[in-house]
Amino acid sequence: MLDKNGIAKRIAKEIKDGYYVNLGIGIPTLVANYIPEGINVVLQSENGLLGMGPFPFEGEEDADLINAGKQTITTLPGSSIFDSALSFGMIRSQKIDLTILGAMEVSEYGDIANWKIPGKMVKGMGGAMDLVASAKNIIVAMQHVNKAGESKLLPSCTLPLTGVKCIKKIVTELAVLDVLPEGGFKLIERAPGVSVDYIRQATAGKLYADDDVPEMAFG
């Protein structure tokens, strides 16, 4: 079973040389720490930056330079700044190759819910609805089951949707799964030491698994 960093590390393997990538808040942010050496990747922050760098050294924080999670950051050589309309313009026109974000629930048709729990304080969707509606390539980083032990990979979402039929790949603490165009989760890889049966039990939606599902490999 993977921890958050393990999930981030596995997702990082999906990043190809030359990709522009948008990382959501939470586990997706950790992915930046595991981008393979020698790979040129540009991180977009949807408030209006391409070429996001690491956190600043202490004392070098700049209040005018933050990411979409409102964290102080730095820029890398070759970065560019733009307004929020152009930022979502490039998201809608699919110039961003890969979007990685968290989810509360994903359905076996690729619907995603990650912004609202009825009856609880609603903070807002931020840029999530724009991202899931536009991105050509989305990976969800999430826990396979919630704290109550219930599956978050469902036949259909119970929470208000963020987007419909948009998720194609999911990485959890247990597995890597593809969402099949005709519906259903296809088990691609198991976390080290986790059995197909265990994953099947943790998956409420339809799960398809070949006889021989490989364990995840890390770099």
Partner 1 sequence: MINKVVSGPEEAISDIENGQTLMLGGFGLCGIPENCINALVKKGVSGLTCISNNAGVDDFGIGLMLQQRQVKKMISSYVGENAEFERQLLSGELEVELIPQGTLATRCMAAGYGMPAIFTPAGVGTEVAEGKEVRNFNGKDYLMEYAFEADFALVKAWKGDTAGNLIFRSTSRNFNPVMAMAGKVTIAEVEELVEAGSLDPDHIHTPGVFVHRIFQGKGYEKRIEQRTVRTRN
Q: How far apart are CA 159 and CA 105, in angstroms?
A: 7
- 20 counts as binding partner 1 under rule CB under 8 A: yes
Catalytic residue among 37, 46, 189, 215: 46
Whether residue 46 lies in the annotated active site: yes
Select the span of 4-12, 82-90, 170-178, 205-213 touching partner 1 (CB under 8 A).
82-90
Q: Of 4, 14, 51, 180, which lies in the binding site for partner 1, with binding defined by CB under 8 A?
A: 51
Q: Considering the complex, what minimum distance in angstroms separates the CB of residue 185 from partner 1? A: 20
Question: What does the block give as tokens for 102?
Answer: 């968290």
Question: What is 89-138 written as a DSSP string?
Answer: HHHHTT---EEEEE-SEEETTS-EE-S--TTS-----TTHHHHHHH-SSE
Residue 98 burial (CB count, 10 A)? 22
Select the span of 5-13, 139-147, 148-156, 157-165 touching partner 1 (CB under 8 A).
157-165
Q: How far apart are CA 9 and CA 218, in angstroms?
A: 7
Q: HSE, CB side, 13 Å, CA atoms: give it for residue 124.
A: 3
Question: What does the block give as tokens for 156?
Answer: 């259909």
Q: Considering the complex, what minimum distance in angstroms separates the CB of residue 216 from partner 1? A: 27
- 161 counts as binding partner 1 under rule CB under 8 A: yes
Question: What does the block give as tokens for 147?
Answer: 């704290």
Does residue 49 contact residue 80 with C-beta atoms inside 8 Å?
yes
Query: 């036949």: which residue's tokens?
Result: 155
- 75 counts as binding partner 1 under rule CB under 8 A: yes
Nearer to partner 1 among residue 57 and residue 193 (C-beta): 57
What dihedral do alpha carbons 166, 113, 213, 22 form, nearest 10°? 60
Q: Of 1, 3, 5, 18, which lies in the binding site for partner 1, with binding defined by CB under 8 A?
A: 18
Q: Of 1, 5, 36, 80, which lies in the binding site for partner 1, with binding defined by CB under 8 A?
A: 80
Nearer to partner 1 among residue 125 and residue 213 (C-beta): 125
Q: What residues numbered 102-141 form the site for partner 1, per CB under 8 A? A: 111, 121-130, 133-134
Q: Of 4, 14, 26, 79, which lies in the binding site for partner 1, with binding defined by CB under 8 A?
A: 79
- 37 counts as binding partner 1 under rule CB under 8 A: no
- 89 counts as binding partner 1 under rule CB under 8 A: yes
Q: Which residues are catalytic?
A: 46
